[in-house]
Structure 1
């Protein structure tokens, strides 16, 4: 996996444990993004979620939301996904968030490696079925080693890695999107410890990928939520036709893109 860099964008993740937060001070301290705990299991909602979301957005941070899973088997995940999405909708819907949504998998209710892996896969697939997008997976090295296998390596990783030694590839994962590097950070505007994170690129790159508008609102070209069927179709083309992940569901299929799709499948038919 890639190493940390002093040029990488810096951020935090928070839950009710952080108490009252002065978000303007957090932003002034150079933090450009935050992941906020929204839900846990199939019923719990973090009682600071909505307040944190409002404050962070007003201060100009890019925001994401995460769900802490307690699912013990694949059959449990639909209730969790339904609960998470219900809370996200109460917060203004998916378009109110900048960063990817996150599945936090770090406890062992599912017990065995095979069952934990199957349960995480079911969660990811159910979320994608309902929304058309793949969530990030938050987890840590020993949990991957003991409970997750390489069949999940297609799920983008938010990696909790607390070491100065460069991280090695782990069970199929060769890179991380976000890295949580300590749980004992100190940030102005927050009393006590807070998790510190960095993005895989610079703040300018982070903003270029995720920011919707200078005021935190969506840009005029993207002022509507993309239907799930369009996003699902986009992801299929990325996975199966080799289309760039930079291509968005609302973008027109120009002649170059169409030609690339046709060439891909013409080649497959000839080869077969």
Structure 2
């Protein structure tokens, strides 16, 4: 962490597997950015479970979309897809929705800038606000320009020996991703580490309607079973590999119930 006074957080996707969010919160992390979607049709399979788990543990949550748009004509489909994926959980997410732009499918700097500008402008047209942009120094230098400096920045900058250098028209960052190899209790393997530009109190003042810092929940031993339908459905998807196509409102026939019980017994009954 670069500043001990700044609020701590992480960002995750399905690559982190099943996360114990109570342990993440107990270790002092207060926010998380969670991958929602990619390109025109990909939905991160852990998005719902991660948003629900993080918010139930008391973290502030935002979501990001990994862009594959190669031209301004592809922007509308991506934005519409991102908003469709995030809409069911929009009330749970306090932090910005994010455009993750780090690959240059658009080719030249000129076309990349036009594509990113079209993306953020169409997002604003749909929502009334701009997204935040996630990117990194080399991409700023080679593919972006100063015309995007009016958009809030989530800055991937890993040089621990010096403070982040202003680039691409940005004079400050909102969030800083300072490592891709962090270790956090409750998560298997490496995870991206982040900080906000100020304290937890300032973060909540800026983004949390409640403005109160919730107590850190105790770490529970053993699996925590979900308490309501959608969380239960997602738990079954994550833990027992039930199809994502199964909806929380679907009727469960005797055959499906038998399959669920058999998979549960095989995995947890030993």
Q: What's the TM-score once normalised by structure 2's chain length?
A: 0.76
Residue of structure 1 aligned with 2:70, choices 69, 72, 75: 72
2:156 matched residue in structure 1: 160
Distance in 1 separating the partners of 2:75 and 2:94: 24
Residue 110 of structure 1 and its aligned partner are, at CA, apart by: 0.3
Q: Deviations over 1:204-261 (max 9, x none)?
A: 1111111223599xxxxxxxxxxxxxxxxxxxxxxxxxxxxxxxxxxxxxxxxxxxxx
Residue of structure 1 aligned with 2:183, choices 178, 181, 186: 186
Distance in 2 separating the partners of 1:207 and 1:153: 24
1:98 matched residue in structure 2: 94
2:132 matched residue in structure 1: 136
Gaps of 5+ in 2: 215-270
Residue of structure 2 aligned with 1:30, choices 16, 28, 46: 28
1:171 matched residue in structure 2: 168
Residue 145 of structure 1 and its aligned partner are, at CA, apart by: 0.2
Residue 6 of structure 1 and its aligned partner are, at CA, apart by: 1.6
1:222 matched residue in structure 2: none
Q: Deviations over 1:143-193 (max 9, x none)?
A: 000000100111110000000211221121110000000000000000100
Residue of structure 2 aligned with 1:57, choices 22, 34, 55: 55
RMSD of aligned C-alpha atoms? 1.4
Q: What's the TM-score once normalised by structure 1's chain length?
A: 0.76
SS in structure 1 at match of 2:30: strand
Is it true that 1:5 corresponds to 2:3 in the alignment?
yes
2:19 matched residue in structure 1: 21
Residue of structure 2 aligned with 1:112, choices 89, 108, 113: 108
Runs of 4+ in 1 over 4 A off after TM superposition: none
Distance in 2 separating the partners of 1:36 and 1:198: 15
Paired residue total? 212
2:240 matched residue in structure 1: none
Residue 90 of structure 1 and its aligned partner are, at CA, apart by: 2.7
Gaps of 5+ in 1: 217-272
